[in-house]
Structure 1
Amino acid sequence: MSENVKPRIHLPTLPPKWSRDFPIRWDEDHYVTRRELAKFLTLGSAILVGANATIALVGRSRTTQAYAEQRLCAVDELSPGQSLLFRYPTDADPCILVRTQSGAWAAFSQVCTHLSCAVVYRPSDDRLFCPCHQGVFACQEGTAGAEPLEGPPERPLPRILLTIRDGHIHATGVAT
């Protein structure tokens, strides 16, 4: 060998500084590709759409509920401008029967649709009143429910279906 050739010294090669700061073993990493993420999101969305469709179909296929008839009072027990509290269709459902100033009969759920307070009949203005938040409902027979007139309630009170037979007022169902 010639004397002007210097011997090579092999120094150990150090990994780059970033790999020492973030020691990730790429061969052991289980990353998700964009394609796999898109498949997952598509499948998840399809499952949610299917669940919503199932819930909608179950809700539509429910049969109408048959309510038991309940005698409330005799026709001559209430004068115009008076009301009667009762429970229908179960003991957990408070309702109010109203004989309006004009003599018409109407019955509604007594539970306010805003925050479930009990409504009362005010004969002075022929309206149902919720004292919790000053909600006012019209109490007219023939509508789907007692429509909100004032205050925060936005939905009507459910109407109780009535029939007059043999001089008595009977609750026969709940309007939906």
Structure 2
Amino acid sequence: MSDRNNKVPFDEDNYTHNINRNNERMLDRRGFMKTLAGAAGVFAVSTLPWGAVAAKELMGLGDKEYPHQKIADVKDVKVGDSVKFHFPSEHDSAILIRLSENKYVAYQNACTHLRCPVYWVKDEQEMICPCHHGKFDASTGAPTAGPPRRPLPGIKVEVKDDVIYAVRVKRYEA
């Protein structure tokens, strides 16, 4: 009786007899890593066309010419005042500030931290984001306080025949 209970019921000496089958493919750790690396390579290569399209689009943003859009007449904007407008599309809020007699600056009106609207505070001569107390320098758009780390995207403006026009979105410079 003891002979029958101590005997392995299969010809193999271990209990992995059901793993090795003649028609199954062996996949060890090295084979698994090769397969994983190959799959990662296929995914990386398959995203290259989309990355190239995105890079081409981003590289051309600064050079993209939009139809000149009238913001306001020069006589309607006093020194220190601001005007809200939409550029380059009706969904992109922007703000124009007249800093001096001949200096106009315009920025996209969304904080670079969490896209809250930015307001011009004439008394403090600063652009303020009320959400997290972010502040931006009006002449450069660079952050001066709060959580924002990137400057506001600028908009190039031109004055022609006493009318202020938005011309293009300035390229982001890190």
Same fold at TM > 0.5: yes
1:173 to 134, 158, 168: 168
Task: Report what 1:69 is aligned to.
Answer: 68
Query: What is aligned with 1:26?
Result: 19
1:126 is aligned to 125
Residue 149 of structure 1, CA deviation = 0.7
Q: Which residue is equivalent to 2:111?
A: 112
CA distance in 2, matches of 1:115, 1:139: 19
| CA 131–23 in structure 1, closer or farther in 2 if over 3 Å, else same | same
Cα shift at 1:51:
4.3
**1:103–1:163 CA distance, 2 compared to 1 (3 A):** closer
Structure 2 counterpart of 1:6: none
Letter in 2 for 1:40: T
- Aligned-pair RMSD on alpha carbons? 2.8
Larger of the two Rg values belongs to structure: 1
Give the whole-Å Cα distance in 2 for the aligned partners of 1:51 and 1:155: 32
- C-alpha offsets along residues 24-77 of structure 1, whole Å, 9 cap, x if unaligned? 612347652133213212212322442454444222333443312110111111
Please tell me whether residue 163 in structure 1 is matched to residue 149 in structure 2.
Answer: no
Percent identical among aligned pairs is: 28
For the pair 1:92 / 2:85, whether they are aligned, the reply is no
Give the TM-score of the pair, scaled to structure 1: 0.77
- Does the Cα contact within 8 Å between 1:101 and 1:123 map onto a contact in 2? no
Matched letter for residue 99 of structure 2: T
TM-score by length of 2: 0.78
The 2-side partners of 1:106 and 1:112 are apart by 16
Structure 1 counterpart SS, 2:20: helix
* Compared CA separation, residues 52 and 148, structure 1 to 2 (3 A): farther
Comparing 91-100 with 37-46, greater Cα deviation is found at 37-46
Deviations 1:114-168 (A, max 9, x none): 111111101122211111111000111xx5xx11110000111111110100110
Q: Distance in 2 between matches of 1:132 and 1:90?
A: 24
Gaps of 5+ in 2: none
1:42 equivalenced with 2:54 (yes/no): no
The count of corresponding residues between Structure 1 and Structure 2 is: 160
1-side partners of 2:98 and 2:118: how far apart? 15
Q: Secondary structure at the match of 1:40?
A: helix
* Secondary structure class of the residue paired with 1:37: helix
